[in-house]
Amino acid sequence: MTSSTLDVRMAALPGTTLERHILDRQRRAPGATGNFSGLLQQIALAAKIIGSRVRKAGLAGVLGLTGDVNVQGERVQKLDVFANNTMVSCVEAGGHVCVMGSEEVADPIPVPPEYPKGKYVLLFDPLDGSGNIDINASIGSIFSVYRRLTPGQGPGGLRDCLQPGRDMVAAGYVIYGSSNMLVYSTGGGVYGFTLDPSIGEFFLSHDNMRIPTRGRTYSVNEGNYHKWSPSVQGWVDWLKSPEAPGGAYSHRYIGAMVADLHRTLLRGGIFAYPADEKNRSGKLRLLYEAAPFAFIIEAAGGAASTGSGRVLDVTPEALHQRVPVFVGSAEDVDEATRMIA
C-alpha cells in the first residue's frame, strides 16, 4: 500500500474512537489484561442507551415514556431507574466486576451467580441531577472503578465498595447535553469523547484536558446562604467583592453536578456544596459524586477538598455517605479551604 492510499484510509475514519483510544492505551500498559478496556466499553454502551432515552424524555406526556404503561402497553420505568438498570445489565455479564454500587440502590449490587466475577468494582450514579429532566437542562451519569479487595474470584461485597478515592483505578462521567460526551481518566490524563449520533460512536474531541489554575466563576446553591457557617458565607461574600483576584467572580449554577463541573473543568473556577444547617455533611455522595469528580479534576491539574482535607483521602464508612465538596481550579480551591478553615 502506498503512503497516499494509507492517508486516504486514515481519513475515512472521522477521528479516534473511544474503543481505539482505550485499546491503544491498553497496549502501552504493561501487564494489561483487557478487563478494564472491556468494562469501559460496556459503560460506554450504557451511556449510549441512557442518552438515547434521555433525548425522548420531553415526550413523556405524549408517549407515556415515564408513565407506568406506554402506548404499546409496556411497563416503563422512571428515567433514573431505567438508567440504573441499563448500567447494571450492560456490565453484570461481562466478567470484569465482582460487585457494583449505585446511588439508586441501598446495598451493594451482586453479580448474578451465573456470571463470572471479575477483579474490578464499579460504583455509579446512573442519572445525576435528574431534577433537571423536566426543564430540558443537562444531566449526567458518574462512575468510578476500583480493584477488588476480597481475595479470590468469588463475589465481592461491601468492603470492596468502601475504598478511599486515592485507590481508584479510573473515574468518568457522561453528560447528556446539547451533545453527549463521555469524559474519563485513569489518573494520567483526562480525555473527552463526543458522541456522533449519526453513527452512534464516541470520538476523541478533548485530548488531555487541563483545568485552568484559576477561573472567574463560582458555582454553589446560594439559596442556602443563611444556612452556611459564617466562614463559608465570608468566602462567598469575598468572591463577589472587588477584592477577589481579578475583581468580583461571576456566579453560574445549573444544579446538576455533572454540568456544573464539566463547565468548571473546561473554563476553571470552583464548584462547591458546603455543609449547612440542614445537610451537616453536605449533600453530595462521597462514593458516587464527590470522589469520582475529585479524581478527574485532580488528574486535570485541579484540586478537590472537603474543606478540611483532600476528598480522595476520605475513607468511606457507608455506601451512601455524604461529604462537603470544594472542587475546581487549584488556586480557587486552595483559597476556599484557607478561608473556611
Three cell numbers written together for 293: 469528580
Q: Could you say whether residue 283 binds ligand AHM (CB under 6 A)?
A: yes
Nearer to ligand AHM, 22 or 181 (CB): 181
The entry of Mg ion, ligand AHM, none near residue 130 (CB within 5 to 8 angstroms by kind) is: ligand AHM
Instruction: Catalog residues that contact Mg ion under the rule CB under 5 A.
Output: 125, 128
**194 contacts ligand AHM (rule: CB under 6 A):** no
Q: How far, in Å, are 89, 111, 161, 273 from residue 155 at the CA level?
A: 17, 7, 12, 35
Residue whose CB is less far from ligand AHM, 103 or 160: 103
Instruction: Decide if residue 92 touches ligand AHM (CB under 6 A).
Output: no
The C-alpha atoms of residue 310 and residue 299 are separated, in whole angstroms, by 14
Judged by CB under 6 A, the number of residues near ligand AHM is 10
Which residues have CB under 8 Å from 13's CB, separation 6+?
A: none
Q: Among ligand AHM, Mg ion, none, what binds residue 301 when CB lies within 5 to 8 Å by partner kind?
A: none
Q: What is the CA radius of gyration of the chain?
A: 21
186 vs 32: CA distance, rounded Å: 13
The dihedral formed by the CA atoms of 213, 218, 224 and 227, expressed in degrees to the nearest 10: 40
The answer to whether 256 contacts ligand AHM (rule: CB under 6 A) is yes
Taking CB under 6 A as the binding criterion, the range among 48-56, 116-124, 127-135, 239-247 that sits at the site for ligand AHM is 127-135
Buried b (16+ CB within 10 A) or exposed e, 202-220: bbbbeeebebbebbbbbbb
Contact residue for ligand AHM among 92, 104, 128, 335 (CB under 6 A): 128
| Alpha-carbon gap, residue 37 to 22, rounded angstroms | 6
Out of Mg ion, ligand AHM, none, which partner does residue 160 contact, by CB within 5 to 8 A per kind? none
d(CA 28, CA 23): 9
Give which of Mg ion, ligand AHM, none residue 255 binds (C-beta under 5 to 8 Å, depending on kind): ligand AHM
d(CA 331, CA 181): 27
252 part of the interface to ligand AHM, by CB under 6 A: no
> Residue of minimal CB distance from Mg ion?
128
Interacting stretch for ligand AHM, rule CB under 6 A, among 69-77, 93-101, 200-208, 250-258? 250-258
User: What residue ranges bind ligand AHM (CB under 6 A)?
Assistant: 103, 125, 128-130, 221, 255-257, 283
